[in-house]
Amino acid sequence: MKYYPAVAGFFLKKMNKFNFKGRDIIDINDFSKEELLFILKMAKKFDPEYVKSDRSNYTIAQGKIAGLLFFEQSTRTEQSFRSAAQKIGMGIIGFNDPQSTSIHKGESFPDTIRIMDSYADCLIIRHPKGGAAKDAAEVAAIPVINAGDGPNQHPTQTILDLYTIQKVAGKLEGITVALMGDLKYGRTVHALSIALSHFNVKQIFISHPSLAMPQEYLNILKTRNRKYEVWEKLSMDLEGVDFLYQTRVQKERFANLNEYKKIKDLFILDKSFKKYLDRGVKLMHPLPRVNEIDPELDAHPNAIYFQQARNGLYIREALLALVLGRL
């Protein structure tokens, strides 16, 4: 075939720039700023606030199967992936109780992955062990999406968090985001901090010293020359804070439950937090919450955690369509 450099260049550029087909979504570090912004743009195609009719989305991935492997409990992540997959025409197989599978008989993790790999077109995995999604991706030929691996990462949550911030603030540059609660074991805050570090965002880390943000994440901010502060308590003055991202103390990750009990109630937002919401601070939370946000705050327009959870649907529709090469 005759070589047409201009045409080839165009296709190469198009493909190289954002080629998500067949790609694993394991670690937020694997995505450039431009790729993250591209995913956010794609998610708008599925968001009724931007698109009046989403009928054309129903057949995007018809004939494809999502394999869900939930080795750890979930409500939002699992159900929104199920919903997202079906909204773009996919079928679903999988489990959320490993004891109901042959794992109960002693089947190994790689064997389970291999089997699911041959029945599905992409795998969505949540596991209590950090690194499990990467291990699965090494065995599987089809794309693997990390739906949370132990205290490590939760990249799809991060993308929906970014989407929510961008939608509410209208931008991702020049804002201040405070992350609070369990910054040691909370995988959502780890990946969010990395993603925000691509942007001119000041980050404030608020936690008990024993649940502080691990140094490796602070180092990323230093390397990228981003401003950050570490607070040991919630200052009475949240001046300049645009978003406060509250998190649950991750009880299931504590080796010693007495340690958990000592610190579990130190960062609770009660009704008195309303005055900050009135001043314009937007309150986020990946959910589930235990007692760290008083439900009396829910009705406030700046309490945006339920809207945040809903946005998970749109970014998961976009991600599934992208890794299947259908967007």
What residues are annotated to the active site?
76-77, 105, 126, 154
Distance (Å, whole) CA 231 – CA 252: 24
Q: Is the Cβ of residue 18 or residue 243 nearer to ligand NCD in the bound state?
A: 243
Q: Is the Cβ of residue 67 or residue 181 nearer to ligand NCD in the bound state?
A: 181
Nearest CA among 164, 188, 191, 180 for reference residue 307: 164
How many other β-carbons are positioned within 10 Å of the β-carbon of residue 240? 11
The DSSP output letter for 153 is B
Distance (Å, whole) CA 34 – CA 326: 20
As measured in angstroms, the least distance from the Cβ of 160 to ligand NCD is 9
Q: Is the Cβ of residue 19 or residue 75 nearer to ligand NCD in the bound state?
A: 75
Q: Is the Cβ of residue 23 or residue 316 nearer to ligand NCD in the bound state?
A: 316
Distance (Å, whole) CA 166 – CA 27: 21
As measured in angstroms, the least distance from the Cβ of 251 to ligand NCD is 9
As measured in angstroms, the least distance from the Cβ of 228 to ligand NCD is 22
Task: Write the CB contacts of 234 (distance below 8 Å, at least 6 apart in sequence).
Answer: 180, 206, 267
Residue ranges that bind ligand NCD, judged by CB under 6 A: 76-77, 148, 154, 157, 187-188, 248, 286-287
Q: Give the CA-trace dihedral at 62, 67, 70, 76, to 10 degrees.
A: -10
As measured in angstroms, the least distance from the Cβ of 155 to ligand NCD is 11
